[in-house]
Structure 1
Amino acid sequence: MKKSIFLLTCFVFLLLIGQELAGQGQAQWITTERCQSASNTWLAYRKTCTIHHVPDKLLAKIAADTKYWLWINGKMVVFEGGLKRGRSPHSTYYDVVDIAPYLWENENTIAVLVWHFGKDGFAHVNSGKAGLLFEAIGEDVTLLSDESWQCTLYDAYQNTGAPYPNHRLAESNIRFDARRMIADWYKPDFEGSFPGAQLVVAATETFGTLVERPIPQWKNSGLIAYPKVRYSKAGDTLFCSLPYNAQVTPYLKVEAGEGKTIHILTDNYGGGSELNVRAEYITTNGLQEYESLGWMNGHEVLYIIPEGVKVLDVKYRETGYNAGLDGAFRCDDPFLNELWKRSARTLYITMRDNYMDCPDRERAQWWGDEVNELGEAFYALSPEGQKLALKGIYELINWQRADGTLYSPVPAGNWAKELPLQMLASVGWYGFYTQYYYSGDSSFVSAIYDGLHRYLHEVWKTDDSGLPIERNGGWSWGDWGENVDMGVLTNCWYYLALKAEHAFAVQLGKISDAKEICRMMNTIEKCFNTKFWTGTEYRAPGYRGATDDRAQAMAVVSGLASPEKYKPLLKIFKEQYNASPYMEKYVLEALFRMNQPDFAILRMKQRYKKMLEYPYSTLFEGWGIGADGFGGGTINHAWSGGPLTILSQQVCGVEPTSPGFKTFKIAPQLGSLHEAEAVIPTHYGNIEVKIRKNGRTQAFRIKVPEGTVAELLLPGKKTEILYPGVHKLNK
């Protein structure tokens, strides 16, 4: 038996190593002699090859530092391939693309444009070298990046002058000088030539381990017309409306003389009190078209047009994470419908290479934000959306420091501070465990367990009573706003982290770990109320601020607050409004768990009323803009979307009771609402729930997907077991 386990362990290890080293085959990293790998460097690559027989399928492995655009025989194959580095501090992602549909028999032209960010950011670690790796090996076909390729610096792409993007962004502004354009360079009939490519020196050490891209290529709308275009009163600026806050690349078609500079930015250019990205286009003579390839976001795109330029057309391309907004919520309160809709749009705009706090100021994978986001994804997105959180989980654990501490945002080349409470939230019940339980995917658990265990038991210490000792880390942060009771919050987040670890230990058969974790949890349960409960509220000794609604909420959702304490806690929730939108999600969940749906809905509407009065499609970092914004105050911050989860999960009452919604419960709490319905996407298909309340009777229409079983739970009623199919019930 031991021998079998040993052999199985070896097999799994070799399998993981094989996945990690995939792509490091015969191809070589290539660049050009002139390249100094400065920030905002652009390189154009070409390769002409002869293929006598085109296979049905030919998978190309493509890696670049940092982004690439691929054409084959003049046809666009990949629009913005590549991911920011990296899965670990020393790794680079590669894409797998089937190029067979684009190949011809006989001569073929492969063209690749590479954008080298060339600087660190809060979501990218710079390798220090611009380069491309391309490998496609199939039956009678071998295409490898090597010195037979051609490569040149594309000098038409340039840096702008000041102002520049703030230091959190690895992306630069892009200026394109059309006077230096290489016309049709990516097409088969290009009459020019480039210098021969050179190999990147010490490429293995530079780019590190290659890891296959774990998320889909971007959704791509193609170029489409703006819904509305208007000129400024002065006639020098085009304001082009987008249908919602979107990730876009702007396009223009103009007629002009040479040397005119067109400025392109969005209404969100200064989002979150910091400058993000913009673009410039310098005209050549005559009719010309241009699409700025660096994505930007906002509700409007602005083209500032100099005198002497005639605008013939403007369009945009929307790209973004390739998952559908398949979830839905609707009720008889238009305010809540709009709140769910804006929450979903905010979730989507904060997804791309990684989950982001915001798509403008930072584009950074702060894990406090990601915990809320990954929970929302299960109620809003098609299952493909679940892969982004899984990518983030591996990144978080792979960036663990030698001393055992975890920090975010990662990947990052210019940030390294630990926020202890965010890290507890990340590895705990609402983070790692929710990703496992709601998706049903346990593949990551064994890979992250040792790092999780080390963080909770070596980095964190307990006092003589068994309660966790507060840690400052790099930034002692519990939430934006005032009156943050760090003592109570630390204990609740640590307890929930242990709860997740215990479940993982049991799953992995780590019995001794599970027993010790259970002992620690029992100790916290016994000591928590003794230390923190005053008789009317939870309060840490030494904390002198107003009663913290966040701390009371975490005591409830962690299970450390027993039901007899709910009455005084409800009084606090009606009086204290300290939580930012980040922590308000847990306050609302606590109210539903206390069976207070009426007040939960009322508080939700009170808190979000001001935000929804603004004419935006997304939700804010704080409760308002400017002084009410918190932390810079972006208008698209996904941690604010907690109501999305609450409305689907608590109002309509749909939660999994086994991993991946194999079984699930429906325990609605409509409160003052008379109608509510939700669609919850799962790997088995969509769960659909419609509820109509008439006096004491509720009418249900419930669709249970094949392969799943539901329980309908209503107070004072017998549990109804529902098997796959559509069920119409009156209760």
Structure 2
Amino acid sequence: MKKHIHICLILLSIAVTQAQNSNTNIDLKTTIIPPAKVNKLTGDSYLIDFGKAFFGTIQLYSNKPQTDSLIIHLGEKLNDKNGVDKNPGATIRYQKIVLPQLTANTLILPKLTADKRNTTGAAIQLQDSIGVVMPFRYCEIENLKIPITELQIHQKALHHKFNDEASAFSSSNKILDSIWELCKHTIKATSFTGFYVDGDRERIPYEADAYINQLSHYSVDSLYTMARRTNSYFIENPTWPTEWLLHTVPMFYTDYMYTGDIEPLKRHYKNLKLKTLMELERADGLISSSSPNLNAAYIQKLGFKKADTKIKDIIDWPPAQKDTGWKLATLEGERDGYEIVPVNTVVNAFYYYNLKLMAEIATVLDKKEDAAFFKKKAKNVKTTMNTKFFNSDRGYYTDGEGSTHSSLHANMMPLAFGIVPKEHVKTVTEFIKTRGMACSVYGAQYLLEGLYLSNEAQYALDLITDTKGDRTWWNMIEVGATMTLEAWDVKYKPNADWNHAWGTAPLNITTRYMWGIKPKTAGFKIAEIQPQLANLKFSNIKVPTMNGIIKASFKKDKKTHQYIIEIPENMSAEFKVPLINLKGRHNGKKIKPKQQIIILNSGNHTIDLKQ
């Protein structure tokens, strides 16, 4: 465990000052937020609840002076006495401030103490003019000798520019609505550095965290500069483990699809090829952590600054807290018993997806030979995986070469990336449904994607809105968080924080899969809308694009499903008719019985489908 931590600290303590300190061009904003509630605790103590946690600080303005000291407690969590929890545990934040006095008619900005870990080394640094910020929802004040009505106290929130009105969602399922709002707020509140960082414990960009953050951010706003800044950061500052590196290509491809801008693909094409880890490939097409190409030269090519670092230590870092020395709720952590072998299913599923996207990128850049090359490689990896990893007797995948164990992870990743042959989708999904939410909040992104791609919309919705147990988004709300947690619960990760955007899968899944609204062509010139709304009785959604906002609503009764959709100017959409359709009308005109796609041009559309 100590060896792994040492290696990670070496890797992450890298020279990133140029990226970190170029914040003069980062569009950070401050919002002054008044209290949502003020409750009296004792004679001179009060609890101020700002409603939601933000990164920032507190500001006070008193109409009357107080010569005695004022004690302030800031925190994310309440204790069982409805005061700020002064010992919240894990990486849930708390800080105590003592003001010697209150000066009248003066704006007071109490100075916070910086956390050494998240303000040094590889952490993204804030400008000195911003000062120290921390995440908090609550402020408890003690020894207030003047009337509380004489004191104005506000949360001074720091965040990136964000259009709150660009997106919205509501439905007949109020649990789903609450989770969507939790996730949307997380995207805004965690933007305080101008980069996609993992959370307050480290404030470091990691590729897997950033990818889910990007998908969710693009689902609620059409401001893409923060994602692009983060993408550029990863070119020179890769992190670990293997599948983290393998998120680089998907991040750049996603940006291209939403913006239509090919310049980042052109500029970083060679590096994107490198980040596929193609040089670790064996003769059969699969990549291996025991490749003889794991050497100092290769590590430097990837962007790591320490040539003596062993990349095998990066690749073999156990995902989701196995072998940490912690006393965990389950022995295998969040792995579902996943067996890490040198040639394993999860890593090669990511590798296949990278090759598939690189074929698309090469085509966009008119590199025809490369496009054919990557397409052929992807096909070969898919075939080899299905030959070597698929257990035909069981009907689902093992964890890798030489393994007899089958985990949720080894099956949800091939399903999400389109590796599973059609004839085996049923048995793979049946196995997946026996495992429940046996993955981390990060892994849930791919579990849900795979389910929607396999027409398991109802099961996916049930997982998102589950209110039983602690491996749920509802548990995050129940424990009192207003941003998504790093893990399902502290007992699954004892140093977890309460502000991790990689937990926002339900947000982008709702937009991109439940409603099925994604760019069909680059720059959202053509959108695709493929709703899978399961048992929802109604739903409304606003989805931002660079061309404007797509607005859609849905309602159903026993006989009719009605969709009302507004497409912005300068774009169109392809609406995929759900399988329930037997007959219907589009803007009053009959839809052909076997018609699968309805073209929606700019303007308003009403689609009535009858069972």
Instruction: Give me the TM-score of the superposition, normalised by structure 2.
Output: 0.76
Match for 1:323: what amino acid? F
The 3-state SS of whatever aligns with 1:299 is strand
Q: How far apart, CA to CA, are the structure 2 residues paired with 1:658 and 1:294?
A: 42
Q: Say whether 1:444 aligns with 2:308.
A: no
Which residue is equivalent to 2:171? 331
Match for 1:250: what amino acid? I
Q: Deviations over 1:660-681 (max 9, x none)?
A: 2110111111222222221101
Which residue is equivalent to 2:450? 590
* Counterpart contact for 1:354–1:365, Cα < 8 Å: no
The 3-state SS of whatever aligns with 1:581 is coil
How far has the Cα of 1:274 moved from its partner?
A: 3.4
Match for 2:402: what amino acid? G
* Counterpart contact for 1:376–1:645, Cα < 8 Å: yes
Q: How far apart, CA to CA, are the structure 1 residues paired with 2:167 and 2:446?
A: 21
Structure ranking higher on relative contact order (CA contacts 8 Å, 6+ apart): 2
1:573 alignment partner, one of 432, 440, 450: 432
Q: Say whether 1:497 aligns with 2:354.
A: yes
2:154 alignment partner, one of 315, 330, 335: 315
Which residue is equivalent to 2:479? 614
Match for 2:220: what amino acid? A
Which residue is equivalent to 1:484? 338
Which residue is equivalent to 1:267? 76
2:206 alignment partner, one of 352, 362, 366: 366
How far has the Cα of 1:209 moved from its partner?
A: 12
Match for 1:216: what amino acid? D
Mapping of 1:213-292 within 5 angstroms? Answer: 213=24, 215-218=26-29, 220-222=30-32, 224-233=33-42, 235=43, 237-253=45-61, 260=69, 262-267=71-76, 273-274=90-91, 278=95, 280-283=97-100, 287=104, 289-292=107-110
Q: Say whether 1:711 aligns with 2:553.
A: no
How far has the Cα of 1:549 moved from its partner?
A: 1.5
638-647 vs 690-699, which moves further: 690-699
Which residue is equivalent to 1:347? 187
Match for 1:514: what amino acid? A
The 3-state SS of whatever aligns with 2:74 is strand
Q: How far apart, CA to CA, are the structure 2 residues paired with 1:272 and 1:558?
A: 37
Mapping of 1:676-691 within 5 angstroms? Answer: 676-691=539-554
Which residue is equivalent to 2:297? none
1:298 alignment partner, one of 133, 136, 160: 136
The 3-state SS of whatever aligns with 1:680 is strand
Which residue is equivalent to 2:491? 627
Which residue is equivalent to 2:230? 392
Unaligned runs of 5+ in 1: 1-119, 128-206, 400-405, 408-417
With over 3 angstroms needed to count, the CA separation of the structure-2 counterparts of 1:617 and 1:267, relative to structure 1, is closer
1:559 alignment partner, one of 412, 418, 426: 418
Q: How far apart, CA to CA, are the structure 1 residues paired with 2:419 and 2:477?
A: 34
Q: Say whether 1:655 aligns with 2:496.
A: no
* Counterpart contact for 1:271–1:361, Cα < 8 Å: no
Which residue is equivalent to 2:117? none
With over 3 angstroms needed to count, the CA separation of the structure-2 counterparts of 1:380 and 1:126, relative to structure 1, is closer
Q: How far apart, CA to CA, are the structure 2 residues paired with 1:648 and 1:323?
A: 18
How far has the Cα of 1:584 moved from its partner?
A: 0.9
Which residue is equivalent to 2:249? 428
How far has the Cα of 1:495 moved from its partner?
A: 1.1
Q: How far apart, CA to CA, are the structure 2 residues paired with 1:557 and 1:691?
A: 26
Which residue is equivalent to 2:604? 726
How far has the Cα of 1:703 moved from its partner?
A: 0.3
Q: How far apart, CA to CA, are the structure 2 residues paired with 1:237 and 1:358?
A: 35
With over 3 angstroms needed to count, the CA separation of the structure-2 counterparts of 1:695 and 1:649, relative to structure 1, is farther
The 3-state SS of whatever aligns with 1:444 is helix
With over 3 angstroms needed to count, the CA separation of the structure-2 counterparts of 1:356 and 1:232, relative to structure 1, is farther
Q: Deviations over 1:40-65 (max 9, x none)?
A: xxxxxxxxxxxxxxxxxxxxxxxxxx
Which residue is equivalent to 1:177? none
How far has the Cα of 1:694 moved from its partner?
A: 2.9
Q: How far apart, CA to CA, are the structure 1 residues paired with 2:186 and 2:601?
A: 34
Output the aligned Cα RMSD.
3.0
* Counterpart contact for 1:421–1:478, Cα < 8 Å: no
Q: Say whether 1:465 aligns with 2:329.
A: no
Q: Deviations over 1:609-660 (max 9, x none)?
A: 4334334322222222x313x2622222211111111112222121211012
Q: Say whether 1:375 aligns with 2:215.
A: yes
Q: Deviations over 1:252-308 (max 9, x none)?
A: 245667684644422358777137574635436853541135322222123344889
Match for 1:389: what amino acid? A
For these two proteins, the number of residue pairs brought into alignment is: 506
Match for 1:617: what amino acid? T
Q: Deviations over 1:350-408 (max 9, x none)?
A: 21224455553222212211111100112112x12x21110001111033xxxxxx32x
Q: How far apart, CA to CA, are the structure 1 residues paired with 2:23 and 2:69?
A: 43
Q: Deviations over 1:534-583 (max 9, x none)?
A: 022111133355x3212211101211111211111122122113211111
Instruction: Give me the TM-score of the superposition, normalised by structure 1.
Output: 0.64
Q: How far apart, CA to CA, are the structure 1 residues paired with 2:478 and 2:390?
A: 38
The 3-state SS of whatever aligns with 1:655 is strand
How far has the Cα of 1:317 moved from its partner?
A: 2.2
Q: How far apart, CA to CA, are the structure 2 residues paired with 1:126 and 1:262?
A: 37
The 3-state SS of whatever aligns with 1:588 is helix
The structure having more radius of gyration, on CA atoms, is: 1
2:556 alignment partner, one of 693, 714, 729: 693
Q: How far apart, CA to CA, are the structure 2 residues paired with 1:511 and 1:631?
A: 49
The 3-state SS of whatever aligns with 2:495 is coil
The 3-state SS of whatever aligns with 1:665 is strand
How far has the Cα of 1:213 moved from its partner?
A: 5.0
How far has the Cα of 1:698 moved from its partner?
A: 1.8
The 3-state SS of whatever aligns with 2:402 is coil
Q: Say whether 1:542 aligns with 2:402.
A: yes
Q: How far apart, CA to CA, are the structure 1 residues paired with 2:22 and 2:488?
A: 40
The 3-state SS of whatever aligns with 1:456 is coil
With over 3 angstroms needed to count, the CA separation of the structure-2 counterparts of 1:261 and 1:551, relative to structure 1, is same
449-458 vs 340-349, which moves further: 449-458
How far has the Cα of 1:730 moved from its partner?
A: 1.2
* Counterpart contact for 2:249–2:276, Cα < 8 Å: no
* Counterpart contact for 1:260–1:309, Cα < 8 Å: no
The 3-state SS of whatever aligns with 2:391 is coil
Match for 2:604: what amino acid? V
* Counterpart contact for 2:249–2:272, Cα < 8 Å: no
With over 3 angstroms needed to count, the CA separation of the structure-2 counterparts of 1:712 and 1:613, relative to structure 1, is same
Unaligned runs of 5+ in 2: 1-9, 78-85, 111-130, 291-311, 322-333, 467-471, 580-593
Specify which structure has the higher proportion of helix: 2
How far has the Cα of 1:125 moved from its partner?
A: 5.8
With over 3 angstroms needed to count, the CA separation of the structure-2 counterparts of 1:437 and 1:544, relative to structure 1, is same
Q: How far apart, CA to CA, are the structure 1 residues paired with 2:365 and 2:25?
A: 24
Q: How far apart, CA to CA, are the structure 2 residues paired with 1:356 and 1:587?
A: 22
Match for 1:719: what amino acid? I
Match for 1:569: what amino acid? V
